[in-house]
Amino acid sequence: MTQDIRVLVVDDSAVVRKVFSQELSRAAGIEVVGTAPDPYVARDKIVKLKPDVITLDIEMPRMDGITFLKKLMQYHPLPVIIVSSLTSKGSKLALEALSIGALEVISKPSAAYSVGDMSVQLAEKIKAVAAVRIVAKAPPAKKTGPNAALGSRALAATTNKVIAIGASTGGTEAIKKVLTRLPPNAPGTVVVQHMPAKFTTSFAERLDGLCDMTVKEARDGDTVTNGTVLLAPGNYHMVLRRSGARYYVQVKQGPLVHHQRPAADVLLKSVARYAGANALGIILTGMGSDGAAGLLAMKEEGAPTIAQDEASCVVYGMPKEAVKLGGVDHIEHIDAIAQRALNCLGV
């Protein structure tokens, strides 16, 4: 018999702790073994209760969640899901937590009584990350300088090319690794990362400060052009459209796809339809099967496709499903994907 996933809930709100405990305990395969109002209590309970997964609020008294997470990842690495409020400060802290080693971020409803509404989503994320083996993170390597720009011939060759990327659990770091390896005038790139509203704004700002390309949260009508990355805003689907030689994006509402909005399949299928063989598709780490059908559609239209390999994935779900469906041309380690993409595009 499979043992239940042991969860520790760390939140300074007594109401949130109570509701999380009640709701998660109803989910099959999950046992809430304890709660903690702050990192000091959490530290002792981690030693005593040996949880498999921690849910962590990052804005707490006595010791903030970021400081606690750094210590946890150094001395006792565990899968951590960040539960944060939908504020500018909360979004930026959540992105920092993901860069430190947290695996997922979920938004905390503004009203405490509605916390139960997102318990199903939280339970799914807990099950997805429970088996992930977390190791102490080495300090990031210093970037030696900007990536070399593509030469004039290469730039001409990539005119009207589009790179499309889909990712979920573990995707913030994977996307960063791909985009920071692309030159400043690389083909226009469109990205879907499963992430709540407002968090994508902070994520785009963070990437823009790290990448040679310009990164921004997409707005309806934005042009897809060389040197620019457009990130789908949380709670909105993003699709590619074409007017003559100009590619642009449409940002819209619509039903959830694979329980997600934005969804990678929505973007990739639109890229297949409007860009065809002028595009390149990439599917990165994440739970579920979102993006698999879209990547296959791109391949069937003549676009080269790349999937992240199992060894470098946090969760080998989305790439695995894309491979199973037959939509993948190349399987690469995360560190090799950017170069493979440029090679496939002939630059």
In the residue annotation, 290 being an active-site residue is answered as yes
Task: Round to whole Å and give the CA distance between 163 and 210.
Answer: 19
Angle at which helices 88-100 and 65-75 cross, to 10°: 10
- C-alpha of 16 from chain center: 25
Task: Round to whole Å and give the CA distance between 304 and 317.
Answer: 20
DSSP letters for 120-160: HHHHHHHHHHTT----PPPPPPPP-SPPPPPPHHHHHHTTT
Closest CA to 21 of 13, 31, 72, 12: 31
Considering 194, 222, 258, 270, which one is annotated as catalytic?
194
In the residue annotation, 258 being an active-site residue is answered as no
Angle at which helices 39-49 and 65-75 cross, to 10°: 30
Bridge pairing between strands 279-283 and 223-224: unpaired
Closest CA to 341 of 186, 194, 226, 185: 186
Considering 52, 212, 222, 290, which one is annotated as catalytic?
290
The tokens of 174 are what? 């994977």
Q: How many CB atoms lie within 10 A of CB 182?
A: 22
* Residues with a known catalytic role: 168, 194, 290
